[in-house]
Chain A
Amino acid sequence: MNIKNKLYVSAGVSIILVVILFSLVLVTSGRIAEENKKHELVDTVRWGVSELDIVTYDYLLHREKRMEQQWNSRYNSLGEILEKATEEEELISIRAGYAALGDLFSQVTANNEKIQKLTQEGASQEKIDTAIGLEERLVAQLLITSHSVITDASRLAEESLIEVTEAQRITANLTLILVIMLAITVTTSSLFVARSISKPLDELTKGTEIIGKGDLEHKVEVKSKDELGQLAAAFNNMTESLKQTTASRDELEEEVTVRKQVEEEVKKSVEQLKQANIQLQEMDSLKSVFLASMSHELRTPLNSIIGFTGVILMGMAGEVNEEQRKQLTVVKNSASHLLSLINDILDISKIEADKVVLSLEEFSLDSVVREVVESVSPMASGKGLELVTELPEGTTLFSDRRRIKQVLMNLVSNAVKFTDRGSVRITARVSGDENLEFRVIDTGVGIRKEDMYKLFQPFQQVDISLTKKYEGTGLGLYLTKKLVDILGRDISAKSEYGKGSEFTFIVPLRYEEEK
């Protein structure tokens, strides 16, 4: 039941009780009034009868006509009173007495007149005595009747007074009981309603405080099905949605925190990566430095080996037989090969460590190409190859002579090495105004298309099976490319497998420092 209905019921019960009380008061007061009226009536009758009794005595004493008239007047007014109260059953005896009184009084008056008349007529004493005797009897009867009526009236008056008192008592008691009931009802219902309101309100207040302090798990315990129950349910729903909102807000905050952490970690990682990169670069540079110095240390004993082998082969240390010469030649060649490997590695490591020092000078193209041709011609002529040069006349270069020669030497010796018959052509032409374009063209074994990408990579002699046939460090073209990267503009190769290869590299005629 909701509070409105509770209040309605409480008020209704009170109103009903008040109405009952009011009706009761009305009813009982009516009855009291009635009883009062009856009492008054009876009282009036009693007084009337008493007065009539007195007048009766007066008459009997004086026997005057005036008294008789007075008696009759009184009698008649009493009769009127009795006439009005026809309904009152209690008055029956009085009425009977009244009628008897009138009858007796008229007999008394009539007999009295008779006596007077007899006296006046002078009737016999006997008759007079008879009449007087009758009168005496009649008077006695009249007085007895009168007293009897008075007694009746007095009794009736007393009785009616008792009834009035009784009615008043009952009314008072009933009223008291009803007032008490009303008071109890009102108090009880008020208490009940107040309790049913205040308890949940307390709970709600407590809940609000608890939730206000941040405990969103709290539930308001209100089981009633009234408005407060609804309020509590709504309150709990509110708390729940608040909790969810808070939860999602917390999640969001957590996410933000996590993201911040991740960002921090990413920053840290980036920083670490930077550090690692710096370390790597340092290590890389260190590696190159290490390689450079190690190569130097390796070269020193090799130089001795090569030198002494040469001295012995020359016969400076005494006779050398054929077998010894053959074996010493192997030693010398192996040592030389090892040395060139080390030199290549050293060159590369220097280039990679950015420690190249160029020695720039003015020199003629002719002289460089001639030196290259001179050093490969023994091998070329040994294989029956034709060496052809096509050069522009009188061209000079300003660059690192030795490295230009090194590049050209690598390409030409490769060409000779991989060509069994035909020719190796070395051409150069000025392209534009500032570049010199070299070409080394052979009619050798050529390179497979799928192997072209390996050309300028370290330790990648294109066809592995060729390694034994054509000795080499496997670093030549890699180093050549590195050198061209420093000195020149570009190096490229094209080839048809089985028909020959063509290597092209371009260097500036005048090397610019900033290059």
Chain B
Amino acid sequence: MKRILVVEDNEANLYLVRFMLEKKGYEVIEAREGIAGVELAIKEKPDLIIMDIQLPDIDGLEATKRIRASEADGDIPIIALTSYAMMGDRERALAAGCTGYIEKPINPETFIAELEKCL
């Protein structure tokens, strides 16, 4: 069973993502802050990370950079949750080391398919 780390501070969104992932049979671990997310990523080495850009302590970009910096072997796919309106988020996310991005609002019909492209 593949493990997916969701770093998201918004409870509703976290619940939505967790719900969809668990429905699809993934094991979900979660972090609500950037630093906690980085620690969890290093410790648990999940198969995929879903990273929200806006986080309370360090943002998703910084967290991504730290995760990438800590990695010795192989890249964990990191998918950024970007906001439609935040122009430049995508570019910055990719520059920070994200593998891909999914735009909010999450479309349940396409979410899993897009996610599985990166696995």
Contact = CB atoms under 8 A, between A and B. Distances in A.
Given A300-B10, A304-B13, A304-B16, A314 B108 contact: yes
A311 B13 contact: no
B16 A316 contact: no
Q: Decide if the interface of chain A is mainly helix, strand, loop or mixed.
A: helix
Contact of A310 (B23, B83, B91, B107): B107
Interface string B10-33: 101100100110010000000000
B83 A301 contact: no
Contacts of B42: none
A299 B104 contact: yes
A316 B19 contact: yes
A359 B88 contact: yes
Interface string A323-358: 000000000000010010011001100100000111
Q: Decide if the interface of chain B is mainly helix, strand, loop or mixed.
A: mixed
Contacts of B90: 359
A478 interface: no
A308 interface: yes
Give the residue among A296, A310, A347, A356 with the most B Cβ atoms within 10 A: A310
B54 to A, nearest CB: 8
A399 to B, nearest CB: 14
B108 A310 contact: yes
Give the residue among A304, A317, A343, A357 with the most B Cβ atoms within 10 A: A304
Contacts of B20: 311, 316
Interface string B37-71: 00000000000000000100000000000000000
A452 to B, nearest CB: 30
Contacts of B1: none
A316 B108 contact: yes
A490 to B, nearest CB: 23
B105 A307 contact: yes
Interface string A354-370: 00111100000000000
Contacts of B91: 359
B83 A299 contact: yes
Given A304-B12, A316-B19, A316-B20, A311 B108 contact: yes
A304 B14 CA distance: 9
Contacts of A317: 19
A307 B13 contact: yes
A303 B104 contact: yes
Count class of interface residues, chain B: 20 to 34
A439 to B, nearest CB: 27
A295 interface: yes
Give the residue among B90, B91, B105 with the most A Cβ atoms within 10 A: B105
Contact of A296 (B13, B83, B88): B83
Interface string A432-466: 00000000000000000000000000000000000
Contacts of B86: 296
Contacts of A306: 105-106
A71 to B, nearest CB: 182
Interface in A145-179: none
A222 interface: no
Nearest to B11: A304
A301 B84 contact: no
B16 A308 contact: yes
B85 A357 contact: no
A143 to B, nearest CB: 183
Contacts of B23: 316
25 contacts: A292-B85, A299-B105, A303-B104, A303-B105, A304-B13, A306-B105, A307-B16, A307-B107, A308-B16, A310-B107, A310-B108, A311-B108, A313-B108, A314-B108, A314-B109, A317-B19, A336-B105, A342-B85, A343-B84, A346-B85, A350-B85, A357-B87, A358-B87, A359-B90, A359-B91
Q: Which 6 A-B pairs have the closest CB atoms?
A: A304-B12, A303-B105, A310-B108, A306-B105, A357-B88, A346-B85
